[in-house]
Structure 1
Amino acid sequence: MTETGIMQSTVQEIINALKDKPGALLPILHGVQDALGYIPEDSIPPIAKALNLSRAEVHGVISFYHYFRKTPPGQHTIHLCRAESCQSRGSKQLQNHVKSKLAIGFHETTPDGKFSLEPVYCLGNCACSPAMQIDREIYGRVSPELFDNAINELRELS
């Protein structure tokens, strides 16, 4: 079976398992993203059909919630905290540095597929602001130098 066929099969299994739940759209979208890492454009029509919704309604929910991705994520996902504590400790400058260093914005992936950049609104590391998370590792007191070192280390491991 092709990769597309596997993805379509996975999406259909998730739809079948969750379509009869009340408010099934969000659980289905979470299920698809959890399984595939994103919500492929071609999964929208079968989701809409199963729930008797328009494609526009499904697309609207996907685009409303920042959590959902419509493109495959990078090999590593970087979450930058944008909550008040981190803002007061320089996260805006860090955000500008990160975007410049990676040459991408939030909800984007580097052309080489290595890094995706996502905003987050609290990592629970306020005492060590500004904070970021790369994959499952949380970093505190993040400076541009610390960020560069972490990214360079990940590039060397790949």
Structure 2
Amino acid sequence: MSLQPASTEIAARTAAVISEMKDLEGPLLPILHGVQEEFGYVPQESLLVIADALNLSRAEVHGVATFYHDYRKQPAGRHVLKLCQAEACQSMGSDAVAAKVKQALGIGFHETARDNSVTLEPVYCLGLCACAPSAMLDGQVIGRLDDEAIDEIVAEVRR
């Protein structure tokens, strides 16, 4: 994958994020999070701007951005639904929850519905192990997922 030079708009918006965070210790991850918050994803063009600003190689920045699953390569849907796939949730039926959600939404993990209503992502622990299986919808955690809760989530993202 080759990194493309940034458009003027992407470069300016990325530079603004960098200027807010470049003085942090270990600023790369916070900057990537900030860029994702700014754009809804991490544009490939932003990686060059970040590398130049932090005096890192393009490969270093690209490697970090692609290693972590939280950084999206393309915009997410209007809603982001994260289903926990960690051991505690698995032991309480997260595989069945995921299968039902995937079927109801017609998408798999790391996919966005055609109507752009929702992006489905796996996550490996939300810290709700005692309330497994769990999910996060648009930053709000939901525990003890059952058929009723799944139906409510699907109805919410379809609105």
Classify the TM-score, shorter chain.
Answer: 0.7 to 0.9
- Give structure 1 regions of 4+ aligned residues with deviation exceeding 4 angstroms: none
Q: How does 1:111-150 map to 2 (within 5 A)?
A: 111-150=114-153
1:98 corresponds, among 79, 92, 101, to: 101
Corresponding residue pairs, total: 153
- Using structure 2 for the length normalisation, give the TM-score: 0.81
Unaligned runs of 5+ in 2: 1-6
Residue type at the aligned position of 2:114: P
In structure 2, the CA distance between the partners of 1:154 and 1:20, relative to structure 1 (3 Å rule), is closer
Amino acid at match of 2:155: N
- Alpha-carbon offset, residue 131 of structure 1: 1.2
Q: Quickly say closer, same or farther: Cα 1:124–1:28, change in 2 above 3 A.
A: closer
- 49, 54, 58: which one aligns with 2:52: 49
Instruction: Report deviation, 1:99.
Output: 2.4
After superposition, the CA RMSD in angstroms is 2.2
Measured against aligned partners, the alpha-carbon deviations of 1:133-152 in whole angstroms (never above 9, x if no partner) come to 21143333323453133212
Deviating more after overlay: 17-26 vs 115-124: 17-26
Please report how far the alpha carbon of residue 5 of structure 1 lies from its aligned counterpart in structure 2 after TM superposition. 4.9
Question: What's the TM-score, normalizing by structure 1?
Answer: 0.81
CA deviations over 1:71-105 (Å, ceiling 9, x no partner): 11111111111222211111012112222332333
* 1:41–1:149 Cα change, 3 Å: same
Relative distance call for 1:55 and 1:103 in structure 2 (3 A) is farther
Q: Can you give the 5+ residue segments of structure 1 that lack an aligned partner in the other structure? A: none
Q: Distance in 1 between matches of 2:73 and 2:32?
A: 11
SS of the residue corresponding to residue 149 of structure 1 reads: helix
